[in-house]
Amino acid sequence: MRRFYAPPQKFSASEITLGREESRHLRDVLRLSEGEQIQVFDGGGREFLCKIEWIKKGETRLEIVGEISPASPESKLELTLAVALLKGEKFDLVIQKAVELGVSKVIPLITKRADVKIRDAKDAEKKLERWRRISLEAAKQSGRAKLLEIETPTGFTEFVKNSARHHEGEIFILFVECGGGKFTETKVDKKLTAAVGAEGGWENAEIEVARENNFQIVTFAGRILRAETAAIAFAAVLQHRFGDFN
């Protein structure tokens, strides 16, 4: 069954309207016709079986047949992955796999040793737009009905201080290459933010400001991982330990 996305404002009690891009894909790529059935999710966790009423160049009207369960239900763990900016397709890969692994939110971090620098607000918005396109396609393919939230790239110190100030009861972990505590000692309830550094790791000052703001400093022993591999692997391990990846 083909899956499409429509934001909540495009839903009524009995109908859904697909926008231009989704309509183009339905009509020109998949060559679907009136009367055929498709699935549509709203990005907030709900999914519906629909029948195509009519197709136009700029939009498609669908009749809601009924609400259905998404193929990939959301994890009981609300996992935020904060990742230092990586070059090109490396960060794209992290976004894609974060969706597949059930991550709730990704925060791109501007760190001292990050591989990429943000030039200005326009540059940040351009990157956000690209990452959101990638996350949408990953949601379609992986069966998730809730879209990954991706924040605007933020400086590491600002991220650490905001985390400590606004999210009481949440557990915060900073993964470091060496010198941290054992992962087996980590205990999590339902909310967790995990920070992963760039290829060059963290500077000592960054580790200290995280420690001062109640981050748990944790080291995984046994493997040397590339930054993008570490972000993906840690998300999988956290979902296995505390979420639904069993």
pLDDT in tens, 124-146: 899 999 999 999 999 999 999 99
pLDDT of residue 183: 78
Superfamily of the domain at 78-242: SPOUT methyltransferase, trefoil knot domain (3.40.1280.10)
Q: What SS3 state is found at 138?
A: helix
* Top-tier CATH class for 3-68: mainly beta
Please give the average per-residue pLDDT across 69-78, as a whole number.
Answer: 93
Return the structure tokens found at 225: 């991982």
pLDDT of residue 144: 96
**Within the chain, which residue ranges are assigned CATH 2.40.240.20?**
3-68
Reported pTM = 0.92
**Within the chain, which residue ranges are assigned CATH 3.40.1280.10?**
78-242
- 3-21 burial, b at 16+ Cβ within 10 Å, e below that, comes to bbbbeeebbeeeebbbeee
Percent of the residues in the chain that have a pLDDT greater than 70, as a whole number = 98
pLDDT exceeds 70 at position 49:
yes
Q: Measuring CA to CA, which residue among 3, 69, 68, 43 is closest to residue 145? A: 43
pLDDT digits (tens, 9 = 90+) for 31-42: 999 999 999 999
pLDDT exceeds 70 at position 168:
no
Return the structure tokens found at 104: 């709730």
Number of H helices, E strands in the chain: 6, 13
